[in-house]
Structure 1
Amino acid sequence: MKKAYIILPVILTLLILSCGKGFLDTDPQGVIIDEQLKTTKAVEASLIGAYGILNGNINGTWGNYSSGPSQWLYGEVAADNAHKGSNSGDQSPMNDIELHRVGPTNDNLPTMWRVYYEGIIRCNKTLQLLKTVQESDANDRFSDERATQIEAEAKLLRGHYYFFLKRVFVNIPYLDETITSTADAVKVPNTIDVDPMIEADFKFAVDNLEYTKPLGEVGRVDKYAAEAYLGKLYLYQKKYPEALVLFKNVITNKAPLTDMPFQNNFDINTENGPEGILVAQNIINDDGSGDNGNVGDMLAGLYNSAPISCCGFYQPSVDLANAYKVNASGLPLLDNSYRTNPYKSDLGLSGAAKTNYQVNKTLAFDPRLDYTIGRRGVSYRDWGTMPGDDWIRDPAYGGPFVAVKQMIDKSDFSGNTSPGTTNITGLNVNIIRLADVYLMAAECAVETNDLTYARNRVNDVRNRASSLPAVTAGGTPAAAYDVNPYASFPNQEYARNAVRFERRLELAMEGHRFYDLVRWGIAKTVIEDYQDFEKDFVSSSQTITFEDKDTYYPIPQEQMDRSGGALTQNDGY
């Protein structure tokens, strides 16, 4: 069971402070007199409300898929790691994200926009209230230490929400705590780069947070999150030396990654462990309702006779499964030769061959395969043997595989799933975890030509993977599992490819892949090559086209209409 966490806002004050559907909506949410807000209690409640948006949800359950902190739709389905899944008719606007034919009216875009601007508004409101309380003559004021800490927490959260929006839309309006009315907000254009403001927020958090959690509460942000996120921002800006300093600080002050089991990141009993850097907290409410749960990933439930039988979305690609192949030295096939003689489970078989299919246990795979991808004939968590098509809604459309990281063990369903909608779980989502920091540090080291440091960090990740317990098929290991460290990085180009490949293997299905491809400048090449391979197996990939504009998304049409001309549509849309 879960401990006490920072959870979505359920306090009346927060519902009143909330700006509701989006920063351009003008519908009032409630009325409260100003004096009631000039208290430390109101500020703390407002800050909890700002934390609440970390799980990508304002209220309710259904419909928050594109804003989930896992970023599965924009970060993985849009790349080469996953298919939308289900069937072609269900949530059909998501098909356009997979196929890169998104228009401004796609209904996934405004959800992302509204949710994260709501988070920004809540952070701004917290900062406004904090200033009011600290400048008042009342006795109810914060100590200078706690006031600075609250400001740092709110600014780090605000920076995160802007960072998520910037990756998707690129050109976005910047609203800070000095903007106090909707009338002023709608006049703000989206023609200024928001990166300097995000950087300022992250720097303030780095300077004013400690490595210990504020108030001792596990769900709050700390200096680890601030340093990692500022480093990530610099990495996206290709400021590799500056980023590396920050990543090294995190790595030095954390326990060794090799002491932190990989599987603990995806186990509801061991979440919020030492590997978590920035974690979206989820929990099933005491009354069984799921609006504080993991609603962003709720479509990733499996199908039919599976213990969680909704909704069949978010299926790993055939290409991703084959990427876990290793050579005779236990190393990845960096030249993409993993696509030769591809492994495709029972896809395409019929009759007796389909009925009698047995998993080939002699194939050499990195063990992270079966902690990331569910495949026929292999044990799936504690649910039993994955039966193949019976747990998949439309194998011809989405492929033969299912996701693993987003589910929880059957033995943990009680209290951690919402009755009637068990596909809503209380499983947390890692937005940044320590292995991610190791690999970002390795990337920076490659780009600054410190190949030894880069190799050591990659090998830390691989050595940790080598200790994973074998997943079984019929009581014996489901593959010839093998993963070994690199003996050398002979040159910078080899090192660069190794680090990038390792990010895919370690962080697959965690929302990073598309954004990585974009910032590396290889999205078009990789996705076109992927489509050429994947189209032979899965119908949803047969018509992918990728243009230069597809590295970002259009401003939602509803926001363009509401802005009265203040917003400028992104190029190409």
Structure 2
Amino acid sequence: MKRSIKYLTYTGALAGLLLTTACNDDFLERPPQNQISDATFWKSKDDLSKALNAVYSQLTREEIIYDDGSTDNAYAQYPWESVATVVSAGTINTNSNAGWGYTGIRRANQLLENADNIEMDAELRERFKAEARFLRTWFYWDMVLRFGDVPLVTSTLGAGEEDVPRTPRAEVVNFLLTELTQIAETLPVAYGGGDSNERGRVTKGAALALKARILLNEASPRFNTGDANKWKAAADAAQEVMGLGYTLFRVNEETGKDLEDDYAAWVDFADSEDEKIFRLGLRSYEKLFHQQYEGNSEVILDRQFIMQVDPQWNNTYLPPSMLNGWSSVTPTQNLVNAYGNYKTGGPANILDPQVRADLYLSENPAFANEYRNRDPRFYASIMFNGNPWNALEDGFKFTWQIGGSNNSQTGYNFRKLVDPQAHRENIDNHANIILLRYAEVLLSYAEAMNEYSGPDATVYAALNEVRERAGMPPVDEAVYNSKESLRELIRNERRIELALEGQRYMDIRRWEIAPEVMESIHDIRNKLVQARTWYDKLYLMPVPQSQIDLSDQVLTQNPGY
């Protein structure tokens, strides 16, 4: 039997749990010794909890970094690791799979079909179902972003039912928004801990934050022909989250090896108080993503990892070979240019690429001047020549190693998402991957309200909350005093605040700026790293031809492929 959607496989998350429908062959009527059938599994609250964990296990992991590799933010140099290399080059074809998959959706559907048969606390059962519905929405939204029309299936499919045509995108989006509105009424704002109430579960805030993300996308130029009310709906959804008690994560002091980093060599501090603002902004931003502070007040949803059981690999994918890394995803010069000036709050002074190359190749000390007085998030996010990081290794300063295996091709590596404590202790990185956080909500509110009615006090307040946490000056309201000027600042703020968190992929498409920004990239010597060509077909990814073939051509292909 051909399968257009891989519905009939449902691999569990814990202890190799496998849920399958029973076979009809006489020889196979007895339950398999290494599997659990539907008839014998769905009996208790514990069964339902395990099944829900199996749905959670499909949440986005560290592969989210490759989404930025498909944009102007980063270069993903290994095509065997992800499709980002061919997406960014413009050469992706129907032999690739850019995220078409139904495992998580199938698991959620099966849970929802069986939950009501279990005798357990009714309120808890409804909450478990709401969590599964959210996760199904998450998986569907990821596919809608990439493919547009996708088969909308809300029940498990039996033999002969597998070849399902694609559902129009608008219909799927309306379904997702309705789901999120409904389940937000069931999910709690927070969990107190203990059995079935562990931190890390989906909350009301997660449902509303994902709703705000979807509405922001739908209000944007690619999907909106001028209906201002779509922007208002996105702003209202973000504002709901803003009333739930989330706050931006901050550290109040530096300790340990952090004190040894000499940033006076890079920033012209006015006085000791100025230096303190800068350093605490840098530390607040970088430590937000470290295991030591996971689950902090800014986190709305994260993908959980279990110590010594389930590691994530950003400490391998992001650093260079000198730090036992692979440089899988590295910053572009264009991203480096986006970080503004710490002193003025405005754009940085960016060198002509050939001037930069000449300074670097001649070992002129003036080469370093371009990295002076930059946004604290630049120093927290980018490994550039001379950037100190004593928390990682005593006396460490980054130096680009040209050539060789596992080194950056652009001249930079990412520092963001690398956990220095795990590196120093020579253990795996188990920091949770943040999927939704409060800073994104504030930026979404600022963008939506600015587009709806132009700059106002609430827009500036949301932006300044994000900037001031990072140690940056507030927005200059005299300069950014129009919808158009503030739009450009907001877009840049999203870019640097959310770098490597997967949002740039959506942003350059919904704003329809991909044709302008997806340029070929060069290293700091002005040598070509990757030739990039944008085609408008790249607004959507190709449906894998293998899936079309399995569907007996019921599935159709996106235009241009």
Q: Above 0.5 in TM-score?
A: yes
Q: Partner letter of residue 208 of structure 2?
A: E
| Equivalent position of 2:510 in the other structure | 519
Deviation by residue 1:302-346 (Cα, 9 ceiling, x = unmatched): 33321xx2322100011111211328622236xxxx544459988
SS of equivalent residue, structure 2 residue 292:
coil
Deviation by residue 1:92-138 (Cα, 9 ceiling, x = unmatched): 964312212210112x53xx223xx11111111111120332xxxxx
Alpha-carbon distance change, 535 to 524 in structure 1, aligned in 2, over 3 angstroms: farther
Alpha-carbon distance change, 326 to 51 in structure 1, aligned in 2, over 3 angstroms: same
Name which of 453, 465, 470 aligns with 2:470. Answer: 465
- Establish whether residue 160 from structure 1 lines up as the match of residue 138 from structure 2: yes
- Establish whether residue 294 from structure 1 lines up as the match of residue 282 from structure 2: no
The answer on whether the counterparts of 2:543 and 2:558 sit within 8 Å (CA) in structure 1 is yes
SS of equivalent residue, structure 1 residue 432:
strand
| Equivalent position of 2:260 in the other structure | none
Name which of 537, 546, 554 aligns with 1:558. Answer: 546
- 1:34 Cα offset (Å): 0.1
Count matched residues.
491
Name which of 232, 238, 241 aligns with 1:241. Answer: 232
Instruction: State how far apart, in whole Å, the 1-side matches of 2:203 and 2:441 are.
Output: 15
Q: Map 1:244-283; keep pairs closer than 5 Å.
A: 244-257=235-248, 259=250, 261-283=284-306
- Establish whether residue 331 from structure 1 lines up as the match of residue 346 from structure 2: yes
| Equivalent position of 2:381 in the other structure | 372
Q: Map 1:422-571; keep pairs closer than 5 Å.
A: 425-452=429-456, 453-466=458-471, 483-488=473-478, 489-528=480-519, 531=520, 537-541=526-530, 543-571=531-559
Q: Percent identity at matched positions?
A: 23
Instruction: State how far apart, in whole Å, the 2-side matches of 1:415 and 1:50 are.
Output: 31
Deviation by residue 1:447-505 (Cα, 9 ceiling, x = unmatched): 11151221111111111111xxxxxxxxxxxxxxx644333431111111111111012
SS of equivalent residue, structure 1 residue 325:
coil
The answer on whether the counterparts of 2:74 and 2:329 sit within 8 Å (CA) in structure 1 is yes
Q: Partner letter of residue 322 of structure 2?
A: S
Deviation by residue 1:504-555 (Cα, 9 ceiling, x = unmatched): 1211121111210111122212224xx38879735233x2111111111100
Instruction: State how far apart, in whole Å, the 2-side matches of 1:332 and 1:517 are.
Output: 20
Alpha-carbon distance change, 274 to 132 in structure 1, aligned in 2, over 3 angstroms: same
Alpha-carbon distance change, 394 to 344 in structure 1, aligned in 2, over 3 angstroms: farther
Q: Partner letter of residue 14 of structure 1?
A: L
Alpha-carbon distance change, 519 to 547 in structure 1, aligned in 2, over 3 angstroms: same
| Equivalent position of 1:316 in the other structure | 331
Alpha-carbon distance change, 82 to 374 in structure 1, aligned in 2, over 3 angstroms: same
For structure 1, the 5+ residue unaligned runs are 1-7, 20-27, 57-67, 134-140, 287-291, 418-424, 467-481
Alpha-carbon distance change, 142 to 285 in structure 1, aligned in 2, over 3 angstroms: same
Normalization by structure 1: what TM-score? 0.78
The answer on whether the counterparts of 1:318 and 1:537 sit within 8 Å (CA) in structure 2 is no
Instruction: State how far apart, in whole Å, the 2-side matches of 1:411 and 1:69 are.
Output: 19
| Equivalent position of 1:303 in the other structure | 320
Alpha-carbon distance change, 189 to 387 in structure 1, aligned in 2, over 3 angstroms: closer
The answer on whether the counterparts of 2:127 and 2:186 sit within 8 Å (CA) in structure 1 is yes
- 1:188 Cα offset (Å): 4.0
For structure 2, the 5+ residue unaligned runs are 1-10, 23-31, 220-229, 252-283
Which stretch of structure 1 is more off in the superposition, 446-455 or 433-442?
446-455
| Equivalent position of 1:421 in the other structure | none
RMSD (Å), alpha carbons: 3.2
Q: Map 1:45-444; keep pairs closer than 5 Å.
A: 45-56=50-61, 68=62, 70=64, 72-73=65-66, 75-85=67-77, 94-106=84-96, 108-109=97-98, 112-114=99-101, 117-133=102-118, 141-177=119-155, 179-181=156-158, 183-191=160-168, 193-213=171-191, 215-238=196-219, 239-257=230-248, 259=250, 261-286=284-309, 292-295=310-313, 297=314, 300-306=317-323, 309-326=324-341, 329-332=344-347, 338-341=349-352, 349-350=360-361, 353=363, 359-360=368-369, 363-380=372-389, 381-383=391-393, 384-390=395-401, 393=404, 398-410=409-421, 414=425, 416-417=427-428, 425-444=429-448
Instruction: State how far apart, in whole Å, the 1-side matches of 2:39 and 2:17 are.
Output: 14
Instruction: State how far apart, in whole Å, the 1-side matches of 2:399 and 2:130 are.
Output: 48
SS of equivalent residue, structure 1 residue 229:
helix
Instruction: State how far apart, in whole Å, the 2-side matches of 1:411 and 1:536 are.
Output: 32
Instruction: State how far apart, in whole Å, the 2-side matches of 1:204 and 1:92 are.
Output: 35
Instruction: State how far apart, in whole Å, the 1-side matches of 2:524 and 2:143 are.
Output: 31
Q: Partner letter of residue 102 of structure 1?
A: I
- 1:402 Cα offset (Å): 0.3
Q: Partner letter of residue 41 of structure 1?
A: D
- 1:191 Cα offset (Å): 4.5
Instruction: State how far apart, in whole Å, the 1-side matches of 2:320 and 2:17 are.
Output: 37
The answer on whether the counterparts of 1:190 and 1:567 sit within 8 Å (CA) in structure 2 is no
Alpha-carbon distance change, 462 to 191 in structure 1, aligned in 2, over 3 angstroms: closer
